[in-house]
Structure 1
């Protein structure tokens, strides 16, 4: 046991990365390591990196350069997508001792446990495209408040023109159906009422498995698990919203009426240049049909502005469709050029000042749309899963359609699911009259 060894973790990027960090952490804690905060002195600093944008790359490098200020003899391990795609750049950073790619991420704990034997090897990066099967993670548990995450898939086969992630994550690989069901049952036994399915491209689930199963089959199995009352989907492409998917959402109360849409643009020419497999008509038709079929259905989305060749008219096309559909919140990103992607070769780059203006404009529109959507629930009854009680005495949680609610009431506790009447709106939060 290593009860005297201290380890600190820093995770950037998506929920999949956070899920994988938890696996590494749980292995080391089981071996007797003590977790400390990242700004405290530690023997090992583990950074799980992201490379979705150039900002994510820069954050990773800045964090790595901070690691040895408290302990010069500490060992620094960087893993994740940036480690997978740019290991040579990372090995040039003085503070970095080990670079571990995504293929070997599950072995980070073993590398640390055998650190004395590994002094000669510092690069643990393999060709991610050689990975043909999903790698099951030991102790892969990730909880957040009253919710728990289940990773069902890794990798992506789409190769959108702007995206570096396939080079960091490899081909789409699905987790075995039975292992997902086992984990969901385990979470139910632990008292978790809400699960969130995560992956790099969830809609591809099952396509690589020998069993004849797909994403909808998995959803139909999960809704049958006793104790699990809420099922959320991390992110979905518009073209993956099939009629069968809509029927499952419509006919199962456990399926929460909220989706995070990987939208990126609503302009046909830009979508084509992005190598997305859908156009604006499909976006409108699918998202409208879902809203027409499911009570209180709401959307959040990711949007990229300032893609090469995006004119003001094209940007306005995206904005108009977003206004038409209505989104409770948007994550707006300025286009970020990534090396080795097709879009990096495109001409007609959009000026950085113009990109910044479009980001600000769309974020302003997102706030307005979000307020309009929240206002329409005043006087309505929503179901809230309580996630925390803050020092102000109020309880906080999310409604079934993923709107944050603030409530006060007697005999309430964390992980209660309660019905509330919405009385008003305060700083973007719905206020209940429980």
Structure 2
């Protein structure tokens, strides 16, 4: 065991990365390491990188150059998707000592434990991610945000959308064993968590790599049986993975929260075809409207890319109009970012940076109006809220359909974090609903 050694972490990108950082962190703490803030002096700095956009690449490089400012004798290890796809490039950064790809992420622990015996030269620990055929188990991470905990159920993606670099960083779709997922859910319930969020790179592909027949819907039917867990959220879904059985399960199991984050990307058929998405606008409308017809108060959030190569103004406007018609409580809008080794990087008819920026701002403005309408329709209604924090002016939490709610701190009102309460919605302040507990 390595006592008195300090380690600092910095995580970029998605919830999967954050989950994996927590696993590494927990293991090192058990081995006797002390976690310190990234700005403090540490013996080791671990940066878990993202490469979903060029901005994510730049952020990773900037963070790595900051790493040794507090201790120039420290060792800096970069892992994650950018490390997997651009390991040699990262080694050119003076501050970087080791590059460990996603294919070897679990080896970060052994590297740190044995680093004193290694040479001072920088080097790469990196295998071919596409040779990974099975899901690698991590130590239970208990990655949490407020009163929610995350469970990773799947890694990788087989889709190879034309704009996306992530399969090169994550490899083929690999599913976690069902019994291990259920075991982690039970452990979280024993620790007092009521809400869990299922995360992965392509959740709807869960089970497709297993020899035995098992699906994401099978997993949902098993995980709702875990006692103590009262809220189950689904991290992200592709529209084409929303099938009739999925709708029935959501409809018939109140533990599954009436909210979905949709990996949408566009609402224009020509753009979706260029992106190599496996659906068009008719499917989007059919699946999302079917859910609305069957599940009370369901709300959607989504990711959207604007300025994809060949996207004309007319295509953009048609996408914006359908997005407005469907109605989302939140949109994450991304200007198209060209990624090396992707098919879209070879496409002609590039949209100018200025136009991509304009469309992103325009869609965000449109989204704010739609989001306001989504929230205002709940004024006068009662929503069930899980309390996540207390501030001077009230309690805060999320409704079942993932709307942030401020519970007005009336005289003698006493709530605890992790309480579930019914809240009568009385107002709307930008992206926040306000109300009183009943």
- Indicate the TM-score class for this superposition, using the shorter chain for normalisation: over 0.9
Q: Deviations over 1:18-40 (max 9, x none)?
A: 00000110111011111111111
Poorly superposed stretches of 4+, deviation over 6 Å: none
If the length of structure 1 is used for normalisation, what is the TM-score?
0.99
Q: Deviations over 1:302-353 (max 9, x none)?
A: 0000000000000011111111110001000000000000000000000111
Which position in structure 2 is the counterpart of 1:149? Answer: 150
Deviation of residue 293 (structure 1)? 0.7
Q: What SS class does the counterpart of residue 23 from structure 2 fall into?
A: helix
**Equivalent residue for 1:34?**
34
Structure 1 partner of 2:118: 118
Q: Name the residue aligned to 1:411.
A: 414
2:161 corresponds in structure 1 to 160
Task: Give the whole-Å Cα distance in 2 for the aligned partners of 1:33 and 1:125.
Answer: 25
Judged with a 3 Å threshold, the aligned counterparts in structure 2 of structure 1 residues 320 and 427 are, in CA distance, closer, same or farther, namely closer
| Kept in 2: contact 1:23–1:106 (CA 8 A) | no
Q: For residues 138 and 228 of structure 1, what CA distance do their matches in structure 2 show?
A: 21
The residue that corresponds to 1:422 in the other structure is: 425
Give me the whole-angstrom Cα distance separating, in 2, the residues matched to 1:397 and 1:3. 38
Q: For structure 1, which segment, 236-245 or 421-430, has the greater mean C-alpha deviation from structure 2 after superposition?
A: 421-430
* Per-residue deviation, 1:140: 2.8
Aligned-pair distance for 1:103? 1.0
Distance 2:123 2:397 in 1: 44
Aligned-pair CA distance for 1:393: 4.0
CA distance in 2, matches of 1:394, 1:380: 19
Correspondence list, 1:50-199, <5 A: 50-119=50-119, 122-199=123-200
What is the alpha-carbon distance in structure 2 between the residues aligned to residue 376 and residue 143 of structure 1? 30
Preserved contact between residue 237 and residue 260 of structure 2 (Cα < 8 Å): yes
1:8 matched residue in structure 2: 8
CA–CA separation in structure 1 for the residues paired with 2:260 and 2:383: 17
Residue-by-residue CA offset, 1:115-153 (whole Å, 9 max, x unaligned): 123336721011000100000002332111110000000
- Which stretch has the larger CA shift, 59-68 or 109-118? 109-118
Give the match's secondary structure for 1:263. Answer: strand
Q: TM-score, normalised by structure 2?
A: 0.98
- Looking at structure 1, the residues matched to 68 and 385 of structure 2 have their Cα atoms a distance apart, in angstroms, of 44
State the Cα distance separating 1:109 from its structure 2 match. 1.4
CA distance in 2, matches of 1:277, 1:130: 25
Distance 1:154 1:319 in 2: 31
Distance 1:281 1:209 in 2: 31
CA contact (8 A) 1:27 1:139 kept: no
Following superposition of structure 1 onto structure 2, how do residues 298-337 of structure 1 map, counting pairs within 5 Å? Answer: 298-337=299-338
Distance 1:118 1:256 in 2: 49
Distance in 2 of aligned mates of 1:215 and 1:234: 12
User: How far apart are the structure 1 equivalents of 2:312 and 2:355?
Assistant: 10
Alignment of 1:370-389 (within 5 A): 370-389=371-390
Distance 1:245 1:405 in 2: 28
Correspondence for 1:263: 264
Give the distance between the partners of 1:280 and 1:302, measured in 2 at CA: 15
**d(CA) in 1 for partners of 2:422 and 2:293?**
23
Residues 372 and 430 in structure 2, CA contact (< 8 A), matched pair in contact too: no
The 1-side partners of 2:88 and 2:397 are apart by 43
1:18 corresponds in structure 2 to 18
Q: Point out where structure 2 has 5 or more consecutive residues left out of the alignment.
A: none
**Aligned-pair distance for 1:165?**
0.2
SS in 1 for 2:264: strand
Contact 2:199/2:234 (8 A) holds in 1: yes
> What residue number does 1:292 align with?
293
The worse-fitting range, judged by mean Cα deviation, of 109-118 and 310-319 is 109-118
Deviates more, 1:47-56 or 1:30-39: 30-39
Q: Distance in 1 between matches of 2:355 and 2:139?
A: 46
Aligned residues: 433
Q: Distance in 2 between matches of 1:139 and 1:199?
A: 15
Q: CA deviation at 1:110?
A: 1.2
The 5 A counterparts of 1:236-275 are 236-275=237-276
Aligned-partner SS, 1:433: strand
> Partners in 2 of 1:344 and 1:428 — Cα distance?
36
SS in 2 for 1:245: helix
CA contact (8 A) 2:97 2:122 kept: no
What SS does the corresponding residue of 2:316 show, helix, strand or coil? helix
